[in-house]
Amino acid sequence: MLDVDNALIVRLLDLAGIGVFALSGALMAVRLRQTLVTAAFFALVTGVGGGSVRDLLIGAPVFWVQDGAISAVCIAIALIVWLTPERWWQGQLLEWADAVGLAAYAVFGTAKALAWGVPPAPALLMGVITGCVGGTIRDILAGVPSIIVRPEIYVTAAALASGLFLLLLWLGAGTPVAAVVGAVAGFILRGAAIRWSLALPAYRDPKTGA
């Protein structure tokens, strides 16, 4: 079991991931000129989507069903976004909010999987699922191309955050250090992809070159 200090840093990563993913979901709904109800729904499913899939896969109680404050936070974030001037949320804020959530939630998902007895390799994948699925659900609901089917670096950033967290734990670093370093590294990679449009090479047919 996690000790008090470790549980605190993991809990903070959890809340950070939920909050910024909920923000990105609400921003998407507002940009699509949707109602407050739709904005709240987008915020909720984006905030808890990845974690819900993770919990179902590892056999844990679905976290937000057990904690009523989480849905309240998502709805409150949606209300703030919906009631404030659009100019406050212009630019690439959605992308940057998503980057923070991706990195923090990837580490948290891996840490929770480890706490539930999942071996390191599948725990890394649980981190990637936790970090990526919420944004994917948001994009599907919004009817826009999902980031995971574009070559721009996204899943790779989540994998870096989860993998570095696991590596540092294996090397003997404490959970707080491993979590912060892993999350920061994932955020930096995703931020670089946003800033400079970094992408992995797309598949080309060896025969046609297309």
How does pLDDT run along the chain (210 residues), one tens digit per residue? 445 566 777 677 677 778 889 999 999 999 999 999 999 999 999 999 999 999 999 999 999 998 888 999 899 999 999 999 888 888 888 889 889 889 989 999 999 999 999 999 999 999 999 999 999 999 999 998 888 887 789 999 999 999 999 999 999 998 889 999 999 999 999 999 999 989 888 887 787 766
Q: What confidence score (pLDDT) does residue 6 get?
A: 67
Q: What confidence score (pLDDT) does residue 1 get?
A: 43
Q: What confidence score (pLDDT) does residue 3 get?
A: 57
Q: What confidence score (pLDDT) does residue 12 get?
A: 73
What lies within 8 Å, CB to CB, of 26 at 6+ separation is 39, 40, 42, 43, 77, 78, 80, 81, 82
CA distance 37 to 25: 12
